[in-house]
Structure 1
């Protein structure tokens, strides 16, 4: 018996399950990021988008109803990988000055993936004639884009508040100190050379005497 030919409708359903899982995982990651964030404004951004994500999950469940399918989640390997990277980055940078910047980078990786998938689902919903689903997916897509923009603006705010990267300034300072040390060493060697010559001259005079 020949296998049933896959259709765009099948692709839509499978991708919807993928995004359903990704959205739930993303919500958990946002909670973790909110706890780890140091800057108050960044904490607020994460907490606000986490609440927004709960509504996005509800919209996805509505989309499942519209297409007459049961709301089911399928492990999203892409989001799983992004979440694992966030965990690793928190372990590496959680106690450093770069922690908030790293968190923003991880969060934007989540947003960019979701923007891509919601854009695809919206386009497919239109092609399949699911007008209401297209509207719901479009609402979420716009929220994800705004969240990504807000993260970029927050990153700039934090960077300005910190006055740039202190670590880079520190590294430059270390280079200056190294150059100064080399200069002192060269000067010291230069001072020692004439002394050596004078000592040699005195030995010669003593020999002649």
Structure 2
């Protein structure tokens, strides 16, 4: 598809976000299972459930604009996933999984936040109403909350203790 209009760009970015959220449902399951820190693992599980709801919201947006939910690959997410797979092959200490997975989560949240901000900006330019913007804004708010939670964990003593023990 050749992108010619702001609506075309919106649909393209919406498809990428749909791809991202669908992939993250599975990735968050994996992160929860492989992260030794119980609090962080529980957070990944909780965010997986939230991400399922975000997928449903994106499907509503597709319906509102008369499009069929469809995925378009996201190079940003695919790059982060390749980094994670490479890390899993190279890691020699289970203690490194927690800080790595925490940082991977933070990076992913920032990518998602930027993508939702872009979608909302385009929705405003196109004059899409609340039925399109409200689900996107709800997803954005949840992503921001998740980022704040991950940053709080990152600053917390349990992660610092893990890193200190490795030094």
Does TM-score exceed 0.5, indicating one fold?
yes
1:57 aligns with 2:55: yes
Which residue in the other structure is 1:69 paired with? 67
Q: Give deviations 1:67-126, integer Å, cap 9, x for gaps.
A: 111111111122111111112222323733221000011111111111000010011112
Alignment RMSD: 1.7
Query: Is the CA contact 1:61–1:71 (under 8 Å) kept in the aligned structure 2?
Result: yes
Which segments of 5 or more consecutive residues in structure 1 lack a partner in the other structure? 169-209
Select the structure of larger CA radius of gyration.
Answer: 1
Q: Take 1:80 and 1:122, find their aligned partners in 2: how far apart are those partners?
A: 23
Q: Take 2:93 and 2:11, find their aligned partners in 1: how far apart are those partners?
A: 42
Change over 3 Å in CA distance of 1:163–1:33 after alignment to 2: closer
**Which range is displaced more, 82-91 or 103-112?**
82-91
1:141-160 alignment, distance < 5 Å: 141-157=140-156, 158-160=158-160
1:1-209 alignment, distance < 5 Å: 6-93=4-91, 95-131=93-129, 132-157=131-156, 158-160=158-160, 162=161, 165-168=164-167
Q: Take 1:81 and 1:163, find their aligned partners in 2: how far apart are those partners?
A: 26
Query: Is the CA contact 2:28–2:45 (under 8 Å) kept in the aligned structure 1?
Result: yes
Relative contact order: is structure 1 or structure 2 higher (C-alpha 8 Å, sep ≥ 6)? Answer: 2
Q: Take 1:155 and 1:64, find their aligned partners in 2: how far apart are those partners?
A: 35
What is the count of residue pairs matched by the alignment? 164
Question: Normalising to structure 1: TM-score of the pair?
Answer: 0.74
Which residue in the other structure is 1:172 paired with? none
Give the 4+ runs in structure 1 shifted more than 4 A. none
CA shift for structure 1 position 30: 0.8
2:95 aligns to what SS in structure 1? coil
CA shift for structure 1 position 166: 2.2
Q: Give deviations 1:7-61, integer Å, cap 9, x for gaps.
A: 1000000111111111111221111100111011111100000000000000000
Query: Is the CA contact 2:3–2:9 (under 8 Å) kept in the aligned structure 1?
Result: no
Question: Normalising to structure 2: TM-score of the pair?
Answer: 0.91
